[in-house]
Structure 1
Amino acid sequence: MSEKSPSSLARMLMVLDFFTEATPVWSVEDIAQKLEVSIPTCYRYMKMLVEAGWLAHQSESCYTFGPRILVMDYYVRQSDPVLQASVPLMQGLVAKTGFECVLSAFYGDRVLDSHHEKSDGKTFLSYGRGMPRPLFRGGAPKVILSHLPSRQLRKIYDGHINELKNAGMPEDWNGFRTYYQGIKKQGFYYSAGELESHLGALAVPIEKQGQPGVWGAMSLVAEISRFDVVDLQKMKVMLEAATLSIAESLV
């Protein structure tokens, strides 16, 4: 295999990261420019990605995500051990509290929601499964980041330093690290209006047993007015019991 092949494969796979909620359709010309490759090379990449089902034709020279994305998402739902262990407990929490329950995890440098159990109320979350969450706002991202090793947290800090001020976070490294150390010591985080102005979220980590790190976080979500009239400590205890049960099932 030539030295060029891995580089070509890496560039082709980079194409999948270009597609976002804001830019769901891309032309060959724009992809070629972003990859810094020729138009014929880009067409070759597109042909391979379409044949594999990762992309689909939107028009003659424009593309969007293909059906294989849906198939892979189905497989993840069926095989993710954290999800399988969490769903019954999340359903129980919703039944007991009447709040929504959300499962979140950390992938690369993104926090994503992997499952959402709805209540009979009208919470109306504007985010859902697979939609990247702001790294520095909301309960789940904060409890997850608080459990990252210092070196990994520093990498997040260095890569997103321009976002800290807008998120109301400490802008110096020592203050940033101390902030998350405080959340880790507390063992939970209550977010009031950080992500959506009318919503609160109480989040606790799903800690790995016998090793550092977390599997993710579980949150109870409702209107802030509802959190104002409940016993936050009792809610936290219920969440912690559920996340401990999940963690123990994954050992």
Structure 2
Amino acid sequence: MSEKSPSSLARMLMVLDFFTEDTPIWSVEDIAQKLEVSIPTCYRYMKMLVESGWLTHQSESCYTFGPRILVMDYYVRQSDPVLRASVPHMQELVAKTGFACVLSAFYGDRVLDSHHEKSDGKTFLSYGRGMPRPLFQGGAPKVILAHLPPRQLRKIYDGHAHELKKSGVPEDWSSFRAYYQQIKKQGFYYSAGELESHLGALSVPIEKVGQPGVWGALSLVAELSRFEVVDAQKMKQLLEVAIRSISQSLV
């Protein structure tokens, strides 16, 4: 079999990536067309995915995500070592600052939030657990991308040209790389209204001890007006204390 021709199992698993916030329901005909397989073959894939709980019938020939997704999300919450190590520190940060605290991580070519620790204030985040973030906007994505190896960063740069054009980040490779090198050098990033016009976020990377790369990023999030009246350096120090403890617990 050619390397360019995915196996039947690979094709079947590809189906799960078709379901998004914009397209939560798919018909057999549309899936078959996207996979470039016959309708009978596609029905066979759907049957296996339904029986295993990954998909469920929306109607006779249309499908959406099934209950197994919820079960797996529960298992992730219980077993994710970064999440388990971070939550107590996130709760402490919220108690000390009154800001919301967000844990983010990099999966494949996406930055996702894995946990939000809410404050008692009015901070409202329109993005939530599992929702892909814009790659080139916001504090967490920027400190995470800043710590990627050059080859991996170049792959992100080449594969997301359209998104890059809308971000305000330098578009030529040398300037793009220098931009992220500067963020890595300063060790944090403050995002002022980049994702949501009324919110700011102070983000630091959760670095891996004794090896390159990061586990993710930790961010304190609040209204821009609140950032204007706090000691940003003190907030940064609180974040750094938390991420050092998290990193050490993951060794």
TM-score under structure 1 normalisation?
0.98
How much does 1:82 deviate? 0.4
Match of 2:111 in 1: 111
Residue identity opposite 2:100 in structure 1 = E
1:56 partner amino acid = T
1:111 aligned partner, one-letter code: V
Classify the secondary structure of the residue corresponding to 1:106: strand
TM-score, length of structure 2 as denominator length: 0.98
Superposition deviation, residue 169 in structure 1: 1.0
**Residue identity matched to 1:38:** S
- The whole-number CA distance in structure 2 between the counterparts of 1:168 and 1:3 is 40
CA distance in 1, matches of 2:174, 2:250: 34
Distance 1:228 1:24 in 2: 40
Per the alignment, residue 225 of structure 1 pairs with: 225
Displacement after TM superposition at 1:72 (Å): 0.4
Distance in 2 (CA, whole Å) between partners of 1:75 and 1:170 is 39
**Alpha-carbon distance in 2 for matches of 1:28, 1:197:** 40
Could you list the structure 1 runs, at least 4 aligned residues long, displaced by more than 4 angstroms after superposition: 2-6
Aligned counterparts of 2:51 and 2:202: Cα–Cα separation in 1: 44
Q: Give, in whole Å, the separation in 2 of the partners of 1:6 and 1:111.
A: 26
**How far did 1:208 drift?**
0.2
Structure-2 separation of matches of 1:239 and 1:196? 22
The residue that corresponds to 2:58 in the other structure is 58
The 5-angstrom pairing of residues 1-251 of structure 1 reads 7-251=7-251
Instruction: Tell me how far apart the structure 2 counterparts of residues 191 and 52 of structure 1 sit (CA, whole Å).
Output: 42
TM-fit CA distance, 1:3: 8.2
Count, aligned residues: 250
Distance in 2 (alpha carbons) for counterparts of 1:137 and 1:71: 31
SS at match of 2:115: strand
Over aligned residues, Cα RMSD in angstroms? Answer: 1.3
Could you list the per-position Cα deviations for residues 72-102 of structure 1 after superposition, in whole angstroms to 9, with x for gaps in the alignment? 0000000000000000000000000000000
Shift of the alpha carbon at 1:144? 0.1
SS at match of 2:165: coil
Q: Percent identity?
A: 86
CA 1:3–1:158: 2 relative to 1, 3 Å: closer
Counterpart of 1:100, as a letter, is: A
Code of the aligned partner of 2:160: H
The secondary structure found in structure 1 opposite 2:130 is: coil
Partner Cα separation in structure 2 for residue 144 and residue 172 of structure 1: 20
Counterpart of 2:82, as a letter, is V
Structure 1 CA distance for aligned equivalents of residues 130 and 249 of structure 2: 24
- 1:163 deviation in Å? 1.6
Of 2-11 and 157-166, the range deviating more from structure 2: 2-11
Q: CA deviation at 1:7?
A: 1.0
SS at match of 1:220: strand
Which deviations, in whole Å up to 9, do the C-alpha atoms of 1:174-209 show, x marking residues without a partner? 000000000000000000000000000000000000
Q: Which amino acid aligns with 1:166?
A: K
Distance 2:105 2:184 in 1: 16
Amino acid at match of 1:103: L
Provide the rounded CA distance (Å) in 1 between the counterparts of 2:105 and 2:164. 21
Residue-by-residue CA offset, 1:19-52 (whole Å, 9 max, x unaligned): 0001100000110111111110000000000000
Measure the CA separation in 2 of the matches of 1:240 and 1:131.
Answer: 25
Amino acid at match of 1:137: Q
Output the amino acid matched with 2:158: D
1:113-139 deviation digits (Å, cap 9, x = unpaired): 000000011111000100000000000
Aligned-partner Cα distance in 1 for 2:191–2:2:
49
Q: Find the aligned partners of 2:2 and 2:219 in 1 and give their Cα distance.
A: 46
Q: What is the CA-CA distance between 1:6 and the residue it aligns to?
A: 6.0
